[in-house]
Every structure is written in structure tokens, then in C-alpha cells.
């Protein structure tokens, strides 16, 4: 995952003296391939129930070994092994077992060029509230550089929403230690507003160690939230049944003190240091 091997080894040996990471969990997955993205090493599948982990749903999964995707195509039936580590999740095997027509194409919101903000565009206001039920319009953050991402508290995949939380924890530490970044604010927008009420978000914020002076978790009406998310290129498919997982992509944005979009990072491969660099590169507020 882009870590420097030597540093990772030293860190692992040091940590091992005090504690040991939980053993990875493995689950058998059966379903049908709907879409393949070789560049991202990702496959969108419709899978059956995964006993002890999640209900049947449509979900994108990564593979570490790109060779697993070779010879596969949409419509293929498969069995796979899902490995869930403390901070990662991926398919370690992917075996074709047959082929069948895709009865229903992957559904979900459609993004158009008109939906997307471009660098330099002013981020529009939407009716959102934070974990303390304080209205959190983007205009309320003028005068601050803002790092904004999307997540939801029930997300079970450690390299999706939980990784966004962990990265923001590290960014929060870096900002607290850098006087020149004292104006920076962090915003995490839930994609599951029916479940992630202000009270739920407040408890979640406390669990991850969010400083409420710097880091806001926000929610709102579903249509309002999803309309806001679309402007950043984020789409979310609501769960088919209570307890199901949301299917969504990841985008993390930096906004300048005048409320203009500076940059957007896609996916989950960015590091806290890279986001801090993006914030440092954004114009600082005028004195």
C-alpha cells in the first residue's frame, strides 16, 4: 500500500514488543462480476450473503495482485477470498466459476460534467448540521482552509471510511503542531444521514478523538447530503435493506478561505502528509 518497507518493518518490530495486531479475517465470497477497473485494481461485484460479515449487495473490492483480474470479464460468476485486516481489505483469490448475462446493470446516481465543481469554483451552500446540531453551511467556514471528506459511521471496510477517519486524525495532529495551519478546519460528511444523526456523529467523533474546535462531522436531509456530495464527484447507493452497506466512492477536497475549491484527491491512497501539503499550498486567510 505504498509504505516504505524498511520503515514499516521497524515500526512493526517496535509495535510487536508491546502488542500484536489482530489476525486478518478471511471470508468466502460468491457472486457475479459487474465491472472491472484494471488501473485501480478494483472489481465491482454483486455478491451473496457473506455469513458473519455482511448481507448480499453490490460492492467494489480491490485486489493486490492485478493478475487476478486477467481473463475476467463482466458477467463472470466467481468465488473469492476476502481478507479483512485491521487497516485494509482486499480479495486475495478470484476464481471464475461460470458466466451468465447480467440481468440488471449496475444502478446508481449518474454524474454529469455540470454536477462537478472545478478548481476555483465557489463551493455552494447546502443545509447541513454538525454533531452539535449547529448549522454548518460552507459560508460558516469562510476565513479557514478546509479539508473535506465523505464517510459513514457503520462502514465495515477498514480501508474505506475508517481510513478517512484515521487519516484525518493524523492531519488533525499535524495541524495542531503547525502554527501556520491554525486556521485549518476538517469536515467529514456522512453519506448515511438516516442513521448518522448528530448524536451518532458526536459519539463517533469522540471515539476517533476529533477535536470539535477543528473537526466537524456533518449530516442533513438525504437529498441535501447527496446533492452536496455530487458536486465533489461522490455518489452513494443507498442500502437495499436495513443493515446493508452503502456503496460509494471516496473523494477528499481542499477548500480555500474564500470558499473556493483548490484540489480534490480521489480514492483512499493519499497520505495524511500529502493532504497537509495540499492545505499548506492553499492560500492562507488574509490577516
pLDDT for the residue numbered 49: 83
If asked whether residues 46 and 184 sit together in one domain, one would say no
In a domain, 7, yes or no: no
Q: Would residue 16 count as lying in a domain? A: no
Whether 114 is covered by a domain: the verdict is: no
**For residues 147 and 287, what is the distance between their CA atoms, to the nearest angstrom?**
20
Q: Which residues make beta-bridge pairs with 54? A: 50
Examine the domain organization and report whether 83 and 188 are in the same domain: no
The rounded distance, in Å, linking the Cα atoms of 74 and 101 is 9
For 92-142, how does the pLDDT look when each residue is reduced to its tens digit (9 = 90+)?
A: 999 999 999 987 655 445 566 678 899 999 999 999 999 999 999 889 999
Residue 240 sits in the same domain as residue 189: yes
Query: How far apart are the C-alpha atoms of 234 and 137, rounded to whole Å?
Result: 18
Residues 145 and 265 in one domain: yes
Domain match, 85 and 225 both: no
CATH code for the domain of 256: 3.40.30.10
Whether 134 maps to a domain, the answer reads: yes
b/e code 183-222 from CB counts within 10 Å (16+ = b): bbbbbbbbbbbebbebebbbebbeebebeeebbbbbbbee
Same domain, 38 and 179: no
Answer yes or no: is 107 within a domain.
no
Count: domains in the chain: 2
- 208 domain residue, yes or no: yes
The residues that bridge with 25 in the sheet, in sequence order, are 84
**Domain CATH for 54:** 2.40.50.320
119 exposure class (CB count in 10 Å sphere: 0-12, 13-18, 19+): exposed
Q: Is residue 80 part of a domain?
A: yes
Classify each residue of 87-115 as buried b or exposed e, where b means 16 or more C-beta atoms within 10 Å of its C-beta.
ebbbbebbeeeeeeeeeeeeeeeeeeeee
- All 3 cell numbers of residue 36? 472491472
> Do 82 and 178 have their domain in common?
no
For residues 75 and 142, membership in a common domain is answered with no
Query: pLDDT tens digits for 229-261?
Result: 999 988 887 665 555 678 788 899 999 999 999
Residues 188 and 92 in one domain: no
- CB neighbourhood size of 286 (10 A): 7
On whether both 149 and 82 belong to a single domain, the answer is: no
* Predicted local distance difference test score (pLDDT) of residue 103: 78
- Pairing between β-strand 185-190 and β-strand 146-151 as defined by DSSP bridges: parallel
140 and 262 fall within a common domain: yes
Based on the fold, state whether residues 95 and 134 are members of the same structural domain: no
What CA–CA distance (Å, rounded) separates 155 from 188? 14
Taking only Cα atoms into account, the Rg of the chain, rounded to an integer number of angstroms, comes to: 20
Q: Which domain holds residue 258?
A: 129-281
The pLDDT score that the predictor gives to residue 89 is 82
pLDDT < 50 stretches in the chain: 1-19, 107-108
pTM for the structure as a whole: 0.73
Residue 104: inside a domain? no
Amino acid at each position: 500500500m505504498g509504505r516504505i518497507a524498511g520503515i514499516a518493518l521497524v515500526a512493526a518490530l517496535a509495535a510487536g514488543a508491546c502488542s500484536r495486531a489482530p489476525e486478518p479475517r478471511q471470508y468466502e465470497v460468491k457472486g457475479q462480476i459487474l465491472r472491472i477497473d484494471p488501473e485501480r485494481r478494483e472489481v465491482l461485484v454483486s455478491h451473496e450473503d457473506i455469513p458473519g460479515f455482511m448481507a448480499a449487495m453490490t460492492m467494489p473490492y480491490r485486489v493486490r495482485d492485478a493478475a487476478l483480474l486477467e481473463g475476467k470479464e463482466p458477467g463472470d460468476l466467481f468465488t473469492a477470498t476476502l481478507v479483512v485486516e485491521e487497516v485494509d481489505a482486499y480479495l486475495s483469490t478470484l476464481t471464475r466459476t461460470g458466466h451468465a448475462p447480467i440481468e440488471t446493470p449496475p444502478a446508481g446516481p449518474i454524474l454529469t460534467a455540470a454536477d462537478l465543481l472545478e478548481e476555483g469554483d465557489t463551493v455552494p451552500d447546502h443545509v447541513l448540521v454538525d454533531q452539535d446540531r449547529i448549522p454548518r453551511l460552507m459560508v460558516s467556514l469562510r476565513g479557514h482552509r478546509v479539508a473535506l471528506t465523505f464517510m459513514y459511521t457503520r462502514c465495515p471496510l477498514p480501508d474505506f471510511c475508517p481510513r478517512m477517519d484515521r487519516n484525518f486524525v493524523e492531519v488533525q495532529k499535524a495541524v495542531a503542531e503547525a502554527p501556520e495551519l491554525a486556521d485549518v478546519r476538517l469536515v467529514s460528511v456522512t453519506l448515511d444521514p438516516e442513521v448518522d444523526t448528530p448524536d451518532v456523529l458526536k459519539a463517533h467523533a469522540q471515539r476517533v478523538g476529533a477535536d470539535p474546535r477543528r473537526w466537524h462531522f456533518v449530516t442533513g436531509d438525504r437529498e441535501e447530503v447527496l446533492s452536496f456530495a455530487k458536486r465533489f464527484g461522490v455518489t452513494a447507493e443507498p442500502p437495499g435493506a436495513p443493515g446493508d452497506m452503502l456503496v460509494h466512492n471516496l473523494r477528499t477536497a481542499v477548500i480555500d478561505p474564500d470558499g473556493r475549491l483548490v484540489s480534490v484527491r480521489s480514492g483512499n491512497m493519499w497520505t495524511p502528509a500529502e493532504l497537509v501539503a495540499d492545505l499548506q499550498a492553499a492560500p492562507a486567510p488574509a490577516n
